[in-house]
Every structure is written in structure tokens, then in C-alpha cells.
Amino acid sequence: MKADKTGKVSVIVVDDSALVRQLLTELLNADPDIEVVATAADPYLAREKIKRFNPDVITLDIEMPRMDGLTFLRNLMRLRPMPVVMVSTLTEQGAQATLDALELGAFDFVAKPKQNLANTLVDFADDICASVKAAARSSTSSPIRDTTRVATPGIATQVISRPMLTGLRTTEKIVAIGASTGGVEAIRQVLSSLPSDAPGIVITQHIPGAFSEAFAKRINGLTAMEVRQAEDGAQILPGHVYIAPGDRHLLVRRSGARYYCQLDDGAPVFRHKPSVDVLFRSVAEQVGANAIGVMLTGMGEDGAQGMLRMKHAGAVNLAQDERTSVVWGMPSAAIKAGAVDEVYPLSEIASYLMAHSRQN
């Protein structure tokens, strides 16, 4: 992890709201590994403070005076590339701008509550601190361990605790993809390289509820496949991609020879909702050997045990390699669990998926 002379990750907070600057500074400084060395109310002030303090990471708002955050980010990535964590409002407009920021090279984003900010932002302290430290680590790709949160009873818990079913054999392949930090762009790259006759794909990406539909719509315009936010009961068809809503777990269920999406409003699993582990375990149970599992870039360990369960059910699993991962936490955890059959750079994953899915 890069750090200043104090041994802490140095951060500059850039936001036009004095309240947000104060709250983010307090939240970040409460972490013993982080120090906010400066704040700035607009990009022009931020530019001068970046020159002066040379921070490891900056947090950046999108809507600011004198120069918007996207323009500043574009200039920054051209002139002085560095890890940037976007702090965006949970709105449709904010979602679109945040996706633009990720395309421009932002490391990650944290959703900023639209209302009751002073009371609600504290709930995001863990996410903000984890993202900032991961951004500082990004050059060394050091994985970050996540903390398990036990789910309350519900469909997701039932899937995790049920034994696998056997004998579920059809000719239809299903691809299950899990991702977190860096996954928005990784998923875009994989899907944009797939043809219209690719197998049906189900995806869990750690993303806020207000962002997932905008993400699905954007990817839909960039691939030959039809991409949509998953709806409860939707049949999983070849040539279609189903992305978990940002506030629901996505599972796969089977009826006869057909597969369907199932949404669950249960508690977070591995701190996440949607959880990759919930998706992968349902795929292991319902799809078995006809599944292909893919673990892309991301923080933590969500999905590793579910992917291992997929392997035990006969699925073939692959993971993104360390070099092309923004954060090699989730792929590394899956590999260490013994759940992964092949490791590929991001640019080769689509080709592998098509080659394997056409095998009988």
C-alpha cells in the first residue's frame, strides 16, 4: 500500500459541500491507516493541493462549481494519473455520471445518500475506507479480506444451507459472473466481446440499487447480446444477460428444462446485497455441470465458497488474472479455495467462454 511518511494512506477530499468534506474527513481519519491531508471545494483548488501534498488517493464529487468532476477527472487522468474514488449521489443522473467516471479511469465509487446525509453517511464508513485503501493498494494488487455477515433466514439462506441436487442435465449452458471493484468496466469488456448467440448469462456485480438499471442499459448498447436488469420470474434465454438489481440477491431456479431468475430481499451475505455467493450457490444447485463460473476483479471473498460448490457440482470455473484485475481479492480468494480451473487475462475471457460453451 502506498502511504505518506506517517505510514498512512494520504487522501485529499474534493467536494463542494462543506458538510460532506467535514464528514468524509472525520470518517476517513477515524481509520488508523488513513489520513486526510487536505480538502478542496472545487477542482481548481484541488489541483493546487494535489501538487502541494502529492496524495495517494483523492475522493471526488461529480457536481461541483467552476469545473465538473468528470472534466476534472478527464484532465487528471491525462496529466497526472492517480487513484480516484468517486463519491456520487444515489440518483439516476448520478449513476450515469459515475459510470462515465469509471470509463475515464476512476478506481471505484461510493454512493452518497441523497437525504439525511449527516446521519446516513456514517453507514458508509466501512465502504469508503475500504475503497480508499484498496485504491492505494491498486498498484500492487494486494487482496483485501472481507468480513462475513450472517444472513437472516430467507431464500438466500436456504440456498446456502440446502444440499445440491443431482441429475440436472440439459444441453443449455448458463454462465454466472461475479464481480466487485473494477467489475463495471471488466463486465463491459467481456460482454462487448461476446456474440448474439452466447449462452444466457447471470451477473452479480456489487452496485447500489440506483445504479444497476443504468448500468444494464449502458451495457445493452455496447454488446450484441440483450442486457437487462434481472426481474423475478424472467426466463434465462441464450443471447441474453441478466444483471442483479443493486438491492436484491439474484438466484437461478429451474423448472423442467428451463431456467429462471429469482430475486430475494434477504439480508446481506459477505456484507453484500446482491451477493455473488448467493448467485453461485444457486447455480451449483440448479444448473450443475452445465454452468460456467467466472470470477472477475473485486474486493473481499464474496463468491469463493459458492464457486467451489459450483465446481463440486461439475461446473467449469475461471478467474481473472492478477495483472488485469483492479483488485485481485475475489479471484484470489476463489483460487485459494480450490474453486478455479483456469485463470485468464480479462481480454481472453470472452473467447474462452464461447469455446467452452460450444463443447458438448
Residue from 31, 56, 127, 206 carrying the catalytic annotation: 206
Q: What cell does 98 get?
A: 459515475
Q: Is 255 a residue of the active site?
A: no
Non-local CB neighbours of 82 within 8 Å, separated by 6+ positions = 50, 55, 56, 57, 58, 76
Distance CA 125, CA 168 (A): 43
Please pick, among 10, 131, 141, 180, the residue that the annotation labels catalytic: 180
Q: Name the amino acid, one letter, at 299.
A: M
- Burial environment of residue 237 by CB neighbours within 10 A (0 to 12, 13 to 18, 19 or more): middle
Phi, then psi, of 19 in degrees rounded to 5: -65, -45
Residue 65 one-letter amino acid:
P
Nine-digit cell at 244? 442483479
Distance CA 39, CA 45 (A): 9
Q: What is the C-alpha to C-alpha distance for residues 304 and 312, in angstroms, rounded to an integer?
A: 13
Residues 6+ apart with CB under 8 A from 258: 235, 236
- Which amino acid is located at 256 in the chain? G
| Residue 127 appears among annotated catalytic residues | no
| 77 CB burial (10 A radius; 0-12, 13-18, 19+) | middle
Active site residue 180: yes
Which one is catalytic: 10, 302, 321, 357? 302
Residue 309 dihedral angles phi and psi, to the nearest 5°: -65, -40
- Residues annotated as catalytic are 180, 206, 302
